[in-house]
Amino acid sequence: MILDASTLAIGNALTSSFLASGGTGPYSYSVAPDGVGGAINSSTGVYTAPSTGTGVDTVIATDSIGDTATAEILVGSSLELFCDIIRTEMGLESDQVFLWDQKFTIPNDSRVYVAVSILSCKVFGTKLTLDNQSVSMKAILGVDIMSRNFDAVTRKEEVVMALSSHYSESQQELNSFYIASQPSAFTNLSQEDGAAIPYRFNLTIAIQYSVSKVKAAPYYDTFDTVEVTTED
Amino acid sequence: MPIQNGKDKLLGGGFGRVPNVSGAMTSWFQAMTFIQVVKTVVNFKVVESKTEINFMGVWQPASAQSIAMKPEGQRAWKWFTVHAEPTVELGPDEVITYQGTQYRVKSKMDYTEYGYVQYELIEDFTGSGP
């Protein structure tokens, strides 16, 4: 039994369609507890990500004789989805791509690591509706490709290919973010004095994305409770 | 019977192994607790987890001689030496907290065959870790 999805990485409040096959129909779909908290239509298999929070949900498909298949879906911000594109297209393990954290240095092994960091970002638009607020952002991201062996030298171009891949384009379209420019040059940081990592290349990439949150407007609810007094 | 000089004997040669001095160390050891800070990547984000290590060991400031051998810029760091049971498995650059203060392992001298391990640690002011 196989469980396919339109995408396995998605932004908040967006949907992904799951489809089971290879078992005995009809299929029913559910989300395992202790995940990020998405919901799924048990008959159609349309998964809806929670409006806030990042993490992983496990979707379970069950066929009519009780066989099951599972798939994990990542719910994340545009930055996490950006990391997911690089990880998926380069075929890396989940710990090889990370959002840069000053508390983290790459382990003493010979794998290639990719760190994504925000160099600068600015707001270029805000929007407020009755129950939704969003901010449009433009960010300059730094992508570091690092390794203790020669991999960073030979695989650095794969990052550019990942960001211009079909998967990247479909993820950008699904999740409303946009990789605004392709990098024109790698900065070679391998020769830096005191570098802890022998091979290191840096790319600068601009992306546009939006962050939104759903929140009911309490002001308008007060109309329901207005008291009308009449004289006898 | 020929006279056997000590210089002609290999260290532990008669027994096939080096002398185990853990018996002598034990009387100096006391119960200690390190909290090892391990950082892993979960969903592209670095997550810290803490593991408690209970062991017998001795904590002391590094000797003046060992500090004198450090590069000049590193001599001002707060260096400590820990002798511990071989069950304590830490590596260079790993981070621990001891009595509320964070330290980073700078080197490990593995004398497991002798019955102990020795670590050099520095106080980790920045809180940055592996």
Predicted pLDDT at A103: 73
**pTM for this one?**
0.76
Of A46, A75, A104, which residue constitutes the final position of a domain? A75
Do A64 and A93 lie in one domain? The reply is: no
Locate B46 and state its tokens.
């670095």
Do A66 and A138 fall within a single domain? no
Judge whether A203 lies within some domain. yes
Examine the domain organization and report whether A206 and A190 are in the same domain: yes
Instruction: Note which residues in 43-82 of chain B have CB less than 8 A from chain A.
Output: 43-46, 48
* Position B100 in a domain: yes
Q: Whole-angstrom Cα distance, residue A158 to residue B53?
A: 41
List C-alpha distances in Å: A68 to A26, A27, A29, A45, B58: 12, 9, 10, 14, 54
Q: A197 and A102 in one domain?
A: yes
- List chain A residues with CB under 8 Å of B44: 76, 79-80, 83-84, 87, 94, 97-99, 116
Q: Which amino acid is at A151?
A: D
Q: Are residue A197 and residue A123 in the same domain, yes or no?
A: yes
Select from A23, A47, A75 the last residue of a domain.
Answer: A75
Tens of pLDDT, residue by residue over A34-62, are 888 889 998 898 999 988 888 899 999 99
Q: Are A70 and A158 in a shared domain?
A: no
Crossing angle, helix A166-175 and helix A151-163, to 10 degrees? 50
Report the distance separating Cα A39 and Cα A45, nearest Å: 10
Residues A51 and A102 in one domain: no
Inside any domain, residue A66: yes
Residue B113 lies in a domain: yes
* Beta-carbon separation of B46 and A101 below 8 A: yes
If you write DSSP's letter for every residue of A85-134 in order, what string do you get?
HHHHHHT--TTSEEE--TT----SSS--EEEEEEEEEEEEEEEE-SSEEE
Q: Do the Cβ atoms of A126 and A168 come closer than 8 Å? A: no
Residue ending a domain, choose from A75, A99, A130: A75
Is there a domain that residue B111 lies in?
Answer: yes
Number of domains in chain A: 2
Name the one residue in this structure whose structure tokens are 């984000």.
B45
Residues A68 and A82 in one domain: no
Q: Rounded distance, CA A167 to CA A8, Å? A: 11
- Is the interface score ipTM higher than 0.85? no
Residue B79 lies in a domain: yes
Q: pLDDT value at position A82?
A: 93
Rounded Cα–Cα distance for residues A212 and A139 (Å)? 16
For the stretch A133-191, pLDDT in tens is 889 999 999 999 999 888 999 999 999 999 999 999 999 988 888 998 777 789 888 87
Looking at the structure of chain B, the number of domains it has is 1
Owning domain of residue B119 = 18-123
| Count of CA atoms in the C-beta half-sphere (13 A) of A122 | 2
Q: Are residues A187 and A121 in the same domain?
A: yes
**A220 located within any domain:** no
Average pLDDT of the segment spanning B57-71: 93
Cβ <8 Å between B129 and A103:
yes
pLDDT for res B117: 93
Give the model confidence (pLDDT) of A78-97 as tens digits: 899 999 999 999 999 988 99
- Assign residue B127 a region (left: φ > 0; alpha: ψ between -120 and 50; beta: otherwise): left
Tokens of A49: 């990500």
Check: CB of residue A49 under 8 Å from CB of residue A211.
no
CATH of the domain at A55: 2.60.40.1080
Which of A54, A84, A104 shows the shortest C-beta gap to B46? A104
The shortest C-alpha distance from B73 to chain A (Å) reads 13
Question: Residues A41, A117: one domain?
Answer: no
For the cut 90, the answer to whether the pLDDT of residue B81 exceeds it is: yes
Q: Does residue A94 share a domain with residue A23? A: no
Is A198 part of a structural domain of the chain? yes
pLDDT of residue B10: 62
In a domain, A50, yes or no: yes
Which domain, by its residues, includes A196? 78-214
Q: What is the per-residue pLDDT for B130?
A: 46
3-state secondary structure of B68: helix
* Alpha-carbon gap: B46 to the closest alpha carbon of chain A (Å): 7
Measure A21 CA to nearest chain B CA, in Å.
Answer: 28
User: Which region holds residue A90: left if phi is over 0, alpha if psi is between -120 and 50, else beta?
Assistant: alpha
**Same structural domain, A141 and A42:** no
Question: What is the predicted pLDDT for the residue at B16?
Answer: 55
Between A166-175 and A78-90, two packed helices, what is the crossing angle to 10 degrees?
160
Report yes or no on A230 lying in a domain: no
CATH of the domain at B116: 2.40.10.270
Question: How many other CB atoms are there within 10 angstroms of residue A44's CB atom?
Answer: 11
A224 within a domain of the structure (yes/no)? no
Question: How far from B66 is each of A199, B58, B60, B62, CA to CA, in Å?
Answer: 32, 17, 13, 7
In a domain, B76, yes or no: yes
